[in-house]
Chains A and B, each alone.
Chain A
Amino acid sequence: MGLSLKLQKKVEGFTLNVEWKIGNELAILFGSSGSGKSMTLQLIAGLIEPDVGIIRSNGSLLYDSMAGVNVSPQKRCLGYVFQDRVLFPHMTVKKNVAYGWRESYRPEMADRVREMLHLFHLEGLEDRFPSEISGGEKQRVALARALIGRPKALLLDEPFSGLDRPIRLELSLLLTEIRNEFDLPVVFVTHDIFEDYALPDKIIVYSGGRIIQVGSPNEVFDHPCEAEVERLTRFHRGMGPSYR
């Protein structure tokens, strides 16, 4: 179980070179903008291809440049929640959630959709369109849509950006529930650790396409191993009650 990767990717003026491994836990990829966090998610999902690397999810090989393995994004079975809560604007909330259903057996689908709508507190919004619901509601729809197909890992790209504090708090509680309920690796990308109230099991600190520290929140916050980590976490040290 879990997710492991070793990736190298060169684009204009930037080189990503990372290697990490997580179990069924909540891991935060943390670092300033442009450090390669979102790129890592796109590589895991198969939306872009690395130059060299290996990606394993739940024991199965998704990508191996040496062996010539490259599973298509459709078959990787990963839940990806995009930045800016990308919902299909021409589908209702219910249809958006149902769109994530991966099997063809339809009768069961209706039950699962209802279950997900309940789990993500979306009852009463089924027939609304994305333009008619709030940002927090959109994020819950995006999560329900990503999780209904029982993915092997959940990838979240800046899921709280642009949302108010109470909504973030509510969503972070929901994330903790998700981790317990679905028992899968959750990778959470953020450039602002203070907005992430969810208690991560692991923090992976990115800088300029490299990993500069991996550890539990306490380790990273109390013993930053490099000046860079120290600088990134300076404002948050001693302020986040969830880390103490």
Chain B
Amino acid sequence: MDPSVLFSLRLSIQVASAATFFIVLIGVGIAYLLAMKRFRGKELLDIICTLPLVLPPTVTGYYLLVLLGRNGWVGRPVYEWTGWNIMFTWYAAIVASFVVALPLMIKTTRASIESVDKSLINASYTLGHSELGTALKVTLPLAKRGIIAGTILSFARAMGEFGATLMVAGNIPGRTDTMPISIYAHASSGDWSKANWMVVFFSLISGLLLYIANHFSRKTI
């Protein structure tokens, strides 16, 4: 296999895995809050977390630039302090994939947490278990299938992230060209044979991931 194709494949998996790790960590927490709690600004949080699902990826990418760029709200102080900027590194690709794929995790997990029988949670409380203990031993284990399905969907979405990634990580061959970006580059330069191979491969992987996600989101109990 062509070494540049192999690099893109490896980078895509690396980026998607790292993004998914943080998505699970943060997404489950946010989904739990949205499903179980009533607080001020809940609707706003819900909308902000869902926006990347409907916004054009370029708009999401633009926000990330404004936030993380060398003159950005977060980017500038970090640059002044360390002399390092995240833009056009593969870490920026992780951030872009994270932001774009997070809503899928939150939506799927929230729905499965909301479908847990409230009596089971109340039973746990009356048996003396704290809210955290109940979440870890009852609520989340019962929402497990939804969480797994959300994780797989997020991974697939993170693998496929293109627009926002292009804006913040760019297209630097051998450094930030994930598979979707590499396909774009090859197709636009007329290098069809490499693009063909990657397109077929990508479709197969995504199809397989969707199949597994469906399997988990199907109710068996």
Contact = CB atoms under 8 A, between A and B. Distances in A.
A149 B119 contact: no
Chain B, interface size category, equals 10 to 19
Interface stretch (A7-15, A79-87, A167-175, A184-192): A79-87
Interface in B105-128: 117, 119-120, 122-128
A144 B41 CA distance: 42
A73 B122 contact: yes
B135 interface: no
A149 B137 CA distance: 18
Dominant secondary structure at the A interface = loop
A102 interface: yes
A88 B128 contact: no
A75 B117 CA distance: 22
Interface string A58-84: 000000000000001111111110111
Given A74-B129, A74-B130, A86 B142 contact: no
A102 B128 contact: yes
A215 interface: no
Contacts of B130: 74
Contact of B119 (A74, A77, A84, A146): A84
B220 to A, nearest CB: 11
7 contacts: A47-B125, A73-B126, A74-B129, A74-B130, A78-B126, A99-B124, A99-B127
Given A47-B122, A90-B141, A90-B142, 5 more contacts: A47-B125, A82-B122, A84-B119, A145-B127, A149-B127
Interface of A: 45-47, 72-80, 82-84, 86, 88-90, 99-100, 102, 131, 145-146, 149
